[in-house]
Amino acid sequence: MNKFINETLVIYISKFTNTKVIKALKDGMMFSLPFLMIGSLFLLIANLPIESVSKVISESGIGDVCSQVYSSTFSLMAFFTVIGITYSYLKNDQVITAINGALTGLAAFILLTPSSKVLDSGESVTGIISKDWTAGQGMICAILIGFLVGYIYSLCVKKDISIKMPDGVPSGVADSFSSLLPTGIIITICAIIYAICHFIFNTTFAELIYLVIQIPLQGITDSFFGVIIMTVVMSLLWWTGVHGGSICGGILSPILQANMAANQKIIDSGLPLTIQNGGHIFTQQFWDNFLCMSGAGIVIGLVIYITFFAKSKSLRSLGKLSIVPNIFNINEPIIFGTPIVLNIYLLIPFVLVPLIIGISSYLLMYMGILPLFSGVMVPWTTPPIISGLLIGGWRVALWQFVMIVVSFVIYLPFIKKIDTLELNKENQK
């Protein structure tokens, strides 16, 4: 099994994760993370779950300031995504003028999104950049444009399709001229795409992508079986020694963030955030604070046992080293220290715990026992229970406590077996 995993499975997975597209997606999505966190923080301040405080914030005008910050950060996630992916693609291709290409990606995105909007009064307003498309609705379009611009721009540079300036010209000026032809080619291509969508389909490229690709993708991921599949895949990848969170999270993040933005849009419209009103269950918070609580495999129960109850010295020492990082959802010391990787004794609980938690969490949210998540998002290193309290109130915090108990109970018989084996080895020395 080890030979098959190391010489076959890991090689193919590594090839996949090192492709230009996947690397650009993973690296590019990180550009939007600081803005999402800052926007979520101000959204949380504007909507604190303490009625008296919330009233003071609203009446003092602080809530309006927080909303402006939110709309200038969180609501522009598609902008940050297209810039980040284009820049990452070009940087990985060692294109010197990567920043110029990233700005070209932004221009292409704006060109291909709606520039008009019909108001509730029936009046049509033109010449605008609608924040409907700079947030969740435009995510898949932003990703596709990022890849498209990155590929074409890089191809132009490799084929030396650029204007060369004489030596001695300042580098800023030279870079601007060298970017002129690639940018012109890309904008022209995007203009043709815009014209085809406008005259033939009577829509825009962004609206077409949203209808044909994004809505079906959001429906597939935001489903009972979508949660099951992604949970099992992530755990199995980690068990083989491959960073499952990076792979699955990198692919899922655009969709999960779009789901999160869609939930916040329901709240902003004045409607209750429910499934009946179009709310999504599987969001970025669901991934970070349920499926990846204390890290992949939800290993906090295992960590508690080896820290406080293990009889073998090796496991107790590992527990003392790993418990603090694990509280902040960092579990690499446990994954590779126990080890969990390729450990047949721990394969079952490592897959079973997040699977049970994922299924239970989905059903509880579907039945309305747990609330759906709004746009409030906390850093993934926020400790359990605290994170639950911030993103969903006392019910989510209580559920995270139950998750810790479930993790401990399921891991207990398996880690006790390993503890006994380790103790026997130590006694034989």
Cα(262)–Cα(371) distance, integer angstroms: 15
- H/E element holding 125? strand 124-126
pLDDT per residue as tens, the chain (429 positions): 566 666 666 677 777 777 888 888 888 888 888 888 888 888 888 877 677 777 888 888 888 898 899 889 888 989 999 999 999 999 999 998 899 999 999 999 999 999 888 777 778 888 888 888 898 888 899 999 999 999 999 999 898 887 776 666 666 667 777 888 999 999 999 999 999 999 999 999 999 999 888 888 888 888 898 899 889 988 888 887 777 776 777 778 888 988 998 999 898 888 999 999 989 999 999 999 999 998 889 999 999 999 999 999 989 988 888 898 889 888 888 888 888 887 888 889 999 999 999 999 999 999 999 999 988 888 888 899 999 998 988 999 999 999 999 999 999 999 998 988 888 888 886
Cα(237)–Cα(30) distance, integer angstroms: 21
Cα(39)–Cα(380) distance, integer angstroms: 15
Whether this prediction's pTM lies above 0.75 is answered by yes
Residue type, 226: G
- H/E element holding 117? strand 116-118
- Tell me if the bond preceding 339 is cis, omega within 30° of 0: yes
Relative orientation angle of helices 98-111 and 180-199, to the nearest 10 degrees: 20
DSSP characters for 352-416? HHHHHHHHHHHHHHHTTSSPPP-S----TTSPTTHHHHHHH-HHHHHHHHHHHHHHHHHHHHHHH
Largest alpha-carbon pair distance within the chain?
84
Cα(312)–Cα(190) distance, integer angstroms: 64
